[in-house]
Structure 1
Amino acid sequence: MANIVLVNPRFEVSYWGLEHALPLLGKKCNVPTACLPLLAALTPPEHHVTLVDENVEEIDFDTLAQADIVGLTGMIVQRRRMLEIINELKARGVFVVVGGPWVSVQEDYFDGLADAIFVGEAETTWPQFLDDWKHGRHQYRYEQAERTDMTTVPVPRYDLLKTKNYVFGSVQFSRGCPFQCEFCDIIVTFGRKPRLKTSAQVIAELEAMRTAGLSIGFIVDDNLIGNKAAVKVLLADVHAWQEREGYPLQFFTEASLNLAEDDELMELMVAANVTVVFIGIESPNEDSLKEAKKYQNVKKGGTIVERVRKVQDAGLEVWCGMIVGFDNDDTRIFKEQADFIGQTDIMHAMVGMLAAIPKTPLHARLKGVGRLDLDDEQTFGTNVIPLNMSRDELRDGYIGLMRDLYNPDFYFDRLENLYLTREFDFGRARNAYLRHHPWRRRRAQLFDAARAFGLFLLLMKNVPDAQLRQVYRRRMWKMLRSRPNPGVMFVSVVKCATHYHHYTMSREMSERRTLVNTF
């Protein structure tokens, strides 16, 4: 039997990390990485597995030194911390294996340190490695010959997670995306043919999440609707489960903009209690979209603004990803991006500078023409050297755009446009269910009111900026007078906490004028 410890390194402060808001919510991390509990489920039962997430607990290196195998995962933005952890472990003579998104695209990053690496998916290679290790014949590099058959994936070991420390849980319905965006590494890792789990698998995972005490789930699929026909069946079954169980789980997920072209699919997502969808919009500049081969966003059935509003009107709040620094962008793009966000009433826009991830077509193209900064320690925040502006102009324009988007008045104007002027109904399917179950509705309203009041008090106590506290009080009073619904009030106070994170992060970037490399 092997004593195995699987480790997720801590993140630096990031847009989605919500580090400035988490103390207000009484949590330590937004969401657990999906791979660790899955790897634990894939581990043969004769082994003992422990999960360590540095985002919720300190790493005890002396305890890790007693393990037979320490497995380390990590995304691109975690790579430096991964190196620090591996160096600490190797100094103690620990056997270390590495997998995850970063090593899958930059295989030589841990040369001379890792005892084994896993490239891409690991549903078959992880058990294979453990058998090889047991017999003293392990390889250095493991990569599956075939894509994982998702119908064979077990229920993750949610029971090994310290779930009380997380805002959300994570669940996966499918892998793969049919599109060919030049900058994206998803099709490199998971391919362009979407593969789905069965309804029985997904519902078993939902039951396990529920047992673990989680009430919100992030469906981590990079594009939930890659196979529309198949996911409709799955969503219909999730809807039936929600109805049967009284809507115990709320979801948010990621999807492509062609969602707006399918009314039935939007209805099914809402019925399954998907409340938020993150869409990779990237740019209002159509030439930039064509450059990036983001053809699914090019004019089709209306403008991008019209399609976003159609998704919102269907009952799905839209968050989005935006990118600046395409070859077809010049310094006008920053105002164009801000104008677009204002027109769509999107509150949460994750803006990034174009970055070239190894193994992607973008990386190959820019490397071929000498437009990559290969210094791993550079501080412009991206390895791409832009074409129609300087690196300083790109960095400063990006920072200025982030400040503009999270200017309190601009942010809360978008909130009020969506929730007051347009009367957006957050959690439409669950709300309809509760209207037919008055006792449950009353209990839910009391719970939401208590949560909203408690979180608001924490904001007033812990936000150090008096002017910002005043903005929150004024805007929440207007929301309460205009739409005195406990559920809407709780969502709105959460928006205040989220705003505090994004506002603080954008101001810190502005003060530093240097950016951690995020590619």
Structure 2
Amino acid sequence: MKVKMILPALTEALSPFWRPIKYHLFPPLGLASIAAFFDESDEIDLQDEHVETLNLNDDPDLVIIQVYITSAYRAYQLADYYRQKGSYVVLGGLHVTALPQEAAHHADTIFLGPGEDTWPLFLQDFKTGNPQKIYQSKQRSLEDVPPVRRDLIKRNLYLVPNSIVVSRGCPHHCDFCYKDAFYRPGKSFYTQKVDDALAEIERLPGKHLYFLDDHLFGNEVFSSALFEGMKGMGRVWQAAATVESILKPGLLEKAVESGLRSLFVGFETLDFNNLKEQHKYHNLNRDYSLAIKRLHDHNVMVNSSFVFGMDNDDETVFQRTVDWAISQGLETATFHILTPYPGTPLYDRMVAENRLITDNWDLYDTRHVVYRPAKISPEALESGYWQAYQDFYRWGSIFQGAWVKSDWNSRLRHLVYAGAWKKCEPIWDMLIRLKQVNHLIPALEQVLMGFNSNKSLPENEIIPRFNKV
């Protein structure tokens, strides 16, 4: 059987503001995971439109397309094209699960939720000539799931080919997050067996890893055992975690001992009422500054995330947030405009309040305002969003943030990491065109490890009582 797997390009990846390196970071692990359920005799072609031009001059028996909200129209176009050619087309992913009736018009079969339990059923039905129109995931487990088909990934096209996912979902329930809609009904957070996760890590060459899990620290028993098992592997890695988990005694230390050097942290907002409104309770009464200090004291860089446009935000939110981020010495920051994704409580609330101003999914990219903000105009919100990026990534701001650090090694690493990410676009573009972007992996590893990797860590660290943001 000939199988075609496609990750269509996100609309923003093809816009005038396209930053090529952002879309050449990670390979499509979701599709490579599904590919593991096929027979060895099946001929599988996995294509990622972010890094390659799609070959549409083929006639696969089965076409599988992963759909995100800002790739939905492109995904539907490709699906219609292949259905007209006679291929059987399957759609799945976050957007399909959120709006199944919309997606069903463009597919022979749609998948709702994760696919570990449904893909074996579909393949059995498909091969016997009786596939169903809808497969809804209900049983959640990563036990006995076959290893990711990494042989299908074109490693040379990605800066971070060693990306890995060892859990699904997140234990928290924020109003603006897609997660609950995707995992409904059933468990919304579950992990691999530790031994299986360690075996997957062992399969990956080199030193660098990037865990793409929504919250790697979400199950303390699992993550603690994982970090213990990773000691001695010689890895240097990045991941995402919450402020709450960073402040827990012991867990961060184990992560650092196993190679953690950079962490994505969703601060989202500095406003207490905004956190309550979005049900981001795990950030309430947490001392952001203390969490950052703990990470920096352990030689871990911080990739921070902030969301603008919550109901308590006015036109002062941008400068306040940027000034605070710089004063904390945050190495990088990712800013977003609040976006009510279909299937989320935030979306339902916006519909009920008649605040949505468009249902053009191409604009749901966290760069455009698609609703009526409470205390700021849509124009001011978009303008402030772009200004925040400019202000945070000015060379003056980068130097100011670097000089928050107390030692020259940390200052230099801050300058190189932040500067390379935002100030070296011509170099990134050239390497991408030459298909040599992954040759920078050794440089990334060196920056993550620091230019003096023997930096000592504080002893007998005591965590004071949590304070309000």
**TM-score normalized by the length of structure 1:** 0.75
Offset at residue 43 of structure 1 (A): 1.8
- 1:205 aligned onto 2:200: yes
Find the partner of 1:295 among 276, 281, 292: 281
For the 8 Å contact 1:351–1:402, the answer to whether it is kept is yes
Counterpart of 1:84? 77
CA contact 1:257–1:279 (8 Å) conserved in 2: yes
In structure 2, the residue matched to 1:273 is 259
How has the CA–CA distance of structure 1 residues 283 and 132 changed in structure 2, closer, same or farther, with 3 Å as cutoff? same
Where does residue 8 of structure 1 map in the other structure? 7
Is the contact made by 1:176 and 1:226 (CA closer than 8 Å) also made in structure 2? no
Q: In terms of mean alpha carbon deviation, does 330-339 or 414-423 score higher? A: 414-423
**AA at the equivalent of 2:210:** F
The answer to whether 1:154 aligns with 2:146 is: yes
User: Is the 1:312–1:424 Cα contact (8 Å) retained in structure 2?
Assistant: no
Q: What is the CA distance between 1:375 and its match in structure 2?
A: 2.6
Alpha-carbon separation, structure 2, partners of 1:459 and 1:391 = 31
Structure 2: how far apart are the matches of 1:39 and 1:410? 43
Q: CA deviation at 1:69?
A: 0.2
Q: 1:283 and 1:225 mapped to 2: Cα distance?
A: 21
Task: Report the Cα distance in structure 2 between the residues aligned to 1:460 and 1:299, rounded to whole angstroms.
Answer: 39
Note if 1:116 corresponds to 2:115: no
Q: 1:28 to 1:258 in 2, by over 3 A?
A: closer
Q: 1:352 aligns with which of 325, 332, 336?
A: 336
Contact 2:335/2:389, CA 8 A, preserved across alignment: yes
**What is the rounded CA distance, in whole Å, between the counterparts of 1:488 and 1:55 in structure 2?**
26
Contact residue 171 and residue 218 of structure 1 kept, 8 A? yes
- The 2-side partners of 1:419 and 1:105 are apart by 47
Contact preservation (8 Å) 1:321, 1:350: yes
Residues in 2 aligned to 1:362 and 1:141: alpha-carbon distance in whole angstroms: 26
The CA RMSD over aligned residues, in Å, is 3.1
**Closer, same or farther in 2 for the Cα pair 1:393/1:192, shift >3 Å?**
farther
* 1:107 match: 100
In structure 2, relative to structure 1, the CA distance for the partners of 1:188 and 1:79 (3 Å cut) is same
1:231-280 deviation digits (Å, cap 9, x = unpaired): 1011111224x1xxxx1x32211111112322311111111212111011
Give the unaligned 5+ runs of structure 1.
Answer: 427-450, 465-485, 493-519
Contact 1:40 1:157 (C-alpha < 8 Å) held by counterparts:
yes
Q: In 2, Cα distance between the equivalents of 1:237 and 1:460?
A: 38
AA at the equivalent of 2:373: P
The Cα of 1:367 is off from its aligned counterpart by 1.1
Amino acid in structure 1 at the alignment position of 2:152? L
**Residue 300 of structure 2 corresponds to which residue in structure 1?**
316
Deviation at 1:424, TM superposition (A): 7.0
Shift of 1:352: 0.5
User: How many residues end up aligned between the 2 structures?
Assistant: 424
Are residue 362 (structure 1) and residue 385 (structure 2) matched?
A: no
Contact 1:158 1:209 in 2 (8 A): no
CA distance 1:298–1:39, shift in 2 (3 Å) = same
- State the distance in 1 between where 2:192 and 2:245 align: 20
Q: Report the counterpart of residue 36 of structure 1 in structure 2.
A: 31
Aligned residue identity for 1:370? N
Q: CA deviation at 1:340?
A: 1.7
Matches within 5 A, 1:176-195: 176-190=169-183, 194-195=189-190
* TM superposition shift of 1:125: 1.0
1:263–1:409 distance in 2 versus 1, CA, 3 Å: same
Q: What is residue 312 of structure 2 aligned with on the other side?
A: 328
SS of the equivalent of 1:62 reads coil
Amino acid at match of 1:10: A
Are the structure 2 counterparts of residues 422 and 163 from structure 1 closer, same or farther at C-alpha, using a change threshold of 3 Å?
closer
Instruction: Give me the whole-angstrom Cα distance separating, in 2, the residues matched to 1:337 and 1:120.
Output: 35
Q: Deviations over 1:90-145 (max 9, x none)?
A: 34232211111221212233232211111111112112111111122111111112
Q: Distance in 2 between matches of 1:420 and 1:109?
A: 55
Question: Do the aligned partners of 1:313 and 1:424 also contact (CA within 8 Å) in 2?
Answer: no
Alignment of 1:304-453 (within 5 A): 304-376=288-360, 381-418=368-405, 420=407, 423=410
Compute the displacement of 1:219 (Å).
Answer: 0.7
SS at match of 1:88: helix
Q: Secondary structure at the match of 2:371?
A: coil
Q: CA deviation at 1:47?
A: 2.5
> Are 2:33 and 2:148, in contact at CA under 8 Å, matched by a contact in 1?
yes
How far 1:419 sits from its partner (Å)?
Answer: 7.6
> What is the identity, as a one-letter code, of the residue corresponding to 1:364?
D
Shift of 1:374: 3.7
Gaps of 5+ in 2: 430-444, 452-469
Cα displacement (A) at 1:192: 6.2
Question: For the residues of structure 2 that align with 1:199 and 1:158, how far apart are their CA atoms?
Answer: 20
TM-score w.r.t. the length of structure 2 is 0.82
Label 1:153 to 1:424 Cα distance change in 2 as closer, same or farther (>3 A): farther
| Contact 1:251–1:276 under 8 Å retained in 2 | yes
Match of 1:163 among 155, 169, 177: 155
Secondary structure class of the residue paired with 2:63: strand
The structure whose residues are more often helix, as a share, is 1
Shift in Å, 1:28: 7.8
**Is the contact between residue 33 and residue 170 of structure 1 (CA under 8 Å) also seen in structure 2?**
no
Contact 2:210–2:238 under 8 Å retained in 1: yes
Deviates more, 1:415-424 or 1:278-287: 415-424
- Measure, in 2, the Cα distance between the counterparts of 1:406 and 1:333: 17
- 1:74 is aligned to 67
* Partner secondary structure for residue 150 of structure 1: coil
- Shift in alpha-carbon separation, 1:228–1:39, aligned structure 2, 3 A: same
1:219 alignment partner AA: F
Task: Tell me whether 326-335 or 77-86 shows the greater mean CA deviation.
Answer: 77-86
Identify if the C-alpha distance between structure 1 residues 119 and 463 changes in structure 2 by more than 3 Å, giving closer, same or farther.
closer
Correspondent of 1:230 among 216, 219, 222: 222
**C-alpha distance in structure 2 between counterparts of 1:197 and 1:297, whole Å:** 26
Q: Which residue does the alignment assign to 1:498?
A: none
Is the 8 Å Cα contact of residues 74 and 102 (structure 1) preserved in structure 2? yes
- Alpha-carbon distance between aligned partners in 1 of 2:296 and 2:13, rounded to the nearest angstrom: 26
Structure 2: distance between partners of 1:234 and 1:490: 20
- Letter aligned with residue 292 of structure 1: Q
Contact 2:267 2:305 in 1 (8 A): yes
